[in-house]
């Protein structure tokens, strides 16, 4: 009987110490993975750049050809802006969902030993009735 309290304390120090830190590091890596998956930093930096480097050089062209090249470049920038904006919105929504789920997971992690103990006592009280 003497080893049980020490074992319980060892479990709790492991659960709330080493293992909780590992769990938080895992959540952090998942957060970074989501940012990498959506290329959020690149999309934010190149929000007003042309789409897929689809740019026409309009120097040394006639006025009509230069105007066509300019409008195509403008259209390429607009398409790039729309696609990158949609990607950033999807990233923000995904990040918000992940943060909500991560917060729920952390709360469950913190209260899990108490929940297990409460369920054990609840089961024992139901058996006694």
Residue range 54-113, pLDDT digits in tens: 677 767 778 888 788 888 888 888 988 999 999 999 999 999 999 999 999 999 999 999
Residues 6+ apart with CB under 8 A from 113: 11, 12, 15
Residue 118 included in any domain: no
What's the rounded Cα separation, in Å, for the pair 21 and 14? Answer: 10
What's the rounded Cα separation, in Å, for the pair 107 and 86? Answer: 32
Residue 94 included in any domain: yes
Residues 6+ apart with CB under 8 A from 80: 46, 47, 48, 49, 50, 51, 52
Range of the domain at 80: 3-98
Residue 120 included in any domain: no
Q: 81 burial class (0-12, 13-18, 19+ CB within 10 angstroms)?
A: middle
Residue 17 included in any domain: yes
Helix 63-128 × helix 19-37 angle, to 10°: 150
pLDDT(2) > 80: no
- Strand, helix or coil at 94? helix
pLDDT band at 52 (very low <50, low <70, confident <90, very high): confident
Number of domains in the chain: 1
How many residues are recorded in the chain?
129
Do 41 and 35 meet the contact criterion of CB atoms below 8 Å apart?
Answer: yes
- Please compute the mean of the pLDDT values over residues 103-124 and round it to a whole number: 93
Residue 112 included in any domain: no
Residue 126 included in any domain: no
């Amino acid at each position: 009987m003497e080893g049980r309290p020490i074992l319980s304390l060892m479990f709790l120090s492991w659960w709330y110490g080493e293992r909780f830190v590992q769990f938080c590091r895992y959540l952090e890596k998942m957060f970074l993975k989501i940012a990498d998956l959506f290329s959020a930093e690149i999309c934010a930096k190149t929000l007003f750049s042309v789409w897929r480097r689809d740019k026409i050089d309009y120097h040394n062209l006639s006025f009509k050809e230069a105007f066509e090249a300019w409008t195509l470049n403008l259209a390429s920038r607009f398409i790039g802006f729309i696609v990158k904006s949609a990607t950033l919105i999807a990233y923000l929504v995904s990040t918000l969902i992940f943060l909500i789920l991560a917060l729920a997971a952390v709360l469950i992690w913190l209260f899990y030993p108490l929940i297990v103990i409460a369920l054990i006592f609840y089961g024992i009280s139901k058996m006694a009735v």
